[in-house]
Structure 1
Amino acid sequence: MPRYTAEDLAAANGRHIPDIIGPDLDVLFCGINPGLVSALTGQHFARPGNRFWPALHRSGFTPRQLAPAEQEELIGLGLGITNVVARATAGAAELRAEEYRGGGEVLREKVREFRPRWLAVVGIGAYRVAFDAPKAVMGRQGQVVGETGVWVLPNPSGLNAHYTVDTLAAAFAELREVVREGPDTAGRSGS
């Protein structure tokens, strides 16, 4: 992993990175917003210590642990990545509630356009604000976006000390089992 200077990181503040997305995915994972290392590299969940990639693999979503630089391989596995808020920051604490709400609207538009079976938001706080669901809990949500089921997963950031890689993987595995059950589980009526 290259070392980035304070100037490199400062220059990445506010940047956007492209979504990894395509039509009819099994799961569209949705982060809170890109961190500065992700903005510098153009790779989702790129900061060392982020547990997204290990949790994704240990839960059975990927046949091996992918590196952030291999994120494009997700599309072939029926998976994608986007963010609630597109702008990169040093931490989610820098985001304002209106950014979450606006990002939630943009996210719902993406979901209606690309029609994943499941939207998996990784971060309960971001989900609660973006979807105006202040009492939401982890797991399957009662709402759908179009025909897409909604699931909330723990934030895989290394700063989230409430979860280990193993407990994150177990949470991701719950969604993976529902995905394996088939298309009717997401709220779709067949096909």
Structure 2
Amino acid sequence: MAKDGDRRPLAPDPGAPDGDGPGAGKAAGDPAQEKEAARRLVYRRLREGGAARFPFPIEGRIPNFKGAERAAARLRELELYRRARALKVNPDTPQLPVRAMALADGKTLYMPTPRLRGAFLRIRPEDVPRGEERRAAQLSKAAAYGRFVPLEELAPEAAPIDLVVVGAVAVTRDGARAGKGEGYADYEYALLRELGHPELPVVTTVHPLQLVDRLPVDPHDLSVDVIVTPDAVIETRTPYPKPRGIRWDAVTEDDLEAMPVLRELRALRWERMTVPDVLAPGLEVVFVGLNPGRASATAGHHFAGPNNLFWRLLHEAGFVPRVLRPEEDRLLLRWGVGVTNVVPRATRGEADLGWDELAAGGAALRAKMARYRPRLVVLLGKQVYRAYAGLARTARVDWGLQPRESVAGVREFVAPNPSSRSTVPYAERLRLFEEARAWLRGN
């Protein structure tokens, strides 16, 4: 679950339809542009229909609407709301009546920080004096009544959330939803699933003018089960599956910087994380590690341990013009360098890997190298090489260029693991990296 072209606000497309007819909300078949056209349509409807309400301008936000209090009151009539003990509600203005109502009804409120810059805020009804529910539900005042909870306290055993209420800019009767275009509601729901929550029912409160005929649905999009307007309840019976977790392969370093809670989640669930390969067809060289350690799994980048020597060795041996940071690992492709691992599973160390897993990883690695066809593959560790070459786990292996080719046309080279725990002196490790570099220059 992660962002795509719809995650960033798009400039208005002057060629996109903006009417109420059959073409409304459609823009040249591009899902992101179709959603943006639907947003513009809804914003125009609300303005021209006199249904928009402070804050202004409504564009670029979840629009507040006249009748938001009536929509909240109608939500109160639903069984799924009445039986809920705790709700996760977005912090936008049109859902303020829902948040205040939940506190008044004795329910625990979880409110994500705007743009997921921090943790969720939990407000318990017993901590809100009677009559102050609306004040406590206001984004600017809420922190005085609740506390920010770490991710461990958002696990289902500690935070039994029963219902999710989200805002929307546009929504269809079958539950497709478009928010502001930045994907935070999708991330928030996926985060709860990552922490072990079951699939939770999702409700949105909107004005009838926010209903549109159709919206494209991306794999990460959060669909809604119930739409509540000031005058109606629409059960969507949505056919669109909800996110089951974060799509970590699509999370960028910018995302992790912008939403530190994602980095916290990676650290909490590091053993379930993988590190994306840095590969492309026809590279000069591919370096192969054993498997991601805790630091790399947490960071989502190769050789991220604070004392790992890989990046220094790579630079000093002449493969790259400067010492790269782990989060810059994708830049390696510029210089014809790739990185992967024998085993994608993260562990604390080599002792947590059995030989059967290593051998299976070696077979998969051979297939990968046959597909990408680098000139040279550098196996960082003798056990890594044994797995790649299909050797016995105790077979004799020497450092340096190997006489055989496990994949026809791809030469193989063995160098020590760059971990600071290796007993091989740094000078010897650098000599071998330089030897691999010299072979590439001479062949």
TM-score (norm: length of structure 2)? 0.39
Distance, in Å, in 2 between the alignment partners of 1:148 and 1:107 is 12
Aligned to 2:344: 86
Distance, in Å, in 2 between the alignment partners of 1:136 and 1:167 is 16
Contact 1:55 1:169 in 2 (8 A): yes
| Structure 1 runs (4+) greater than 4 angstroms displaced | 7-10
Contact 1:14 1:89 in 2 (8 A): no
Alignment of 1:52 onto 2:313: no
| Amino acid across the alignment from 2:397 | A
More off after superposition, 69-78 vs 138-147:
138-147
Aligned to 1:138: 399
Distance, in Å, in 2 between the alignment partners of 1:167 and 1:178 is 17
Distance, in Å, in 2 between the alignment partners of 1:8 and 1:171 is 34
Match of residue 169, structure 1, among 430, 437, 440:
430
Alignment of 1:103 onto 2:361: yes
Deviation per residue, 1:123-143 (Å, 9 max, x gap): 112222442331121111122
Cα deviation, residue 147, structure 1: 0.8
Aligned to 1:187: none
Match of residue 77, structure 1, among 335, 338, 350:
335
Distance, in Å, in 2 between the alignment partners of 1:82 and 1:163 is 24
Deviation per residue, 1:129-167 (Å, 9 max, x gap): 442331121111122112100101100001113222x33
Alignment of 1:149 onto 2:407: no
| Amino acid across the alignment from 2:335 | L
- 1:116-131 paired onto structure 2 within 5 Å: 116-131=374-389
Contact 1:101 1:130 in 2 (8 A): yes
Deviation per residue, 1:80-126 (Å, 9 max, x gap): 00001110101111100011100001100110000000110101122
| Amino acid across the alignment from 2:428 | T
Match of residue 420, structure 2, among 150, 158, 167:
158
Alignment of 1:64 onto 2:319: no
Contact 1:139 1:152 in 2 (8 A): yes
Distance, in Å, in 2 between the alignment partners of 1:77 and 1:8 is 29
Contact 2:361 2:387 in 1 (8 A): no
Match of residue 439, structure 2, among 172, 178, 181:
178
Using a 3 Å threshold, how does the CA distance of structure 1 residues 100 and 111 change in structure 2: closer, same or farther?
same
| Amino acid across the alignment from 1:162 | V
Structure 2 stretches lacking a partner, 5+ long: 1-259
Distance, in Å, in 1 between the alignment partners of 2:272 and 2:425 is 28
Distance, in Å, in 1 between the alignment partners of 2:268 and 2:418 is 23
More off after superposition, 136-145 vs 125-134:
125-134
Cα deviation, residue 9, structure 1: 4.8
Using a 3 Å threshold, how does the CA distance of structure 1 residues 10 and 127 change in structure 2: closer, same or farther?
farther
Distance, in Å, in 2 between the alignment partners of 1:65 and 1:77 is 13
Using a 3 Å threshold, how does the CA distance of structure 1 residues 18 and 8 change in structure 2: closer, same or farther?
closer
Deviation per residue, 1:30-76 (Å, 9 max, x gap): 00001111111110000010000000001111111111111111001
Distance, in Å, in 2 between the alignment partners of 1:173 and 1:31 is 18
Using a 3 Å threshold, how does the CA distance of structure 1 residues 70 and 8 change in structure 2: closer, same or farther?
closer
Larger Rg: 2
Q: What is the DSSP-based 3-state SS (H/G/I as helix, E as strand, rest coil) of the residue aligned with 1:142?
A: coil
More off after superposition, 135-144 vs 79-88:
135-144
Q: CA RMSD in A?
A: 2.0
| Amino acid across the alignment from 1:171 | L
Distance, in Å, in 1 between the alignment partners of 2:387 and 2:335 is 30
Q: Which structure would you say has the larger RCO, counting Cα contacts within 8 Å and 6 or more residues apart?
A: 1
Aligned to 1:188: none
Distance, in Å, in 1 between the alignment partners of 2:416 and 2:410 is 19
Q: What is the DSSP-based 3-state SS (H/G/I as helix, E as strand, rest coil) of the residue aligned with 2:363?
A: helix
| Amino acid across the alignment from 1:156 | P
Q: What is the DSSP-based 3-state SS (H/G/I as helix, E as strand, rest coil) of the residue aligned with 1:13?
A: helix
Match of residue 34, structure 1, among 292, 300, 309:
292
Q: Number of aligned residue pairs: give it.
A: 178
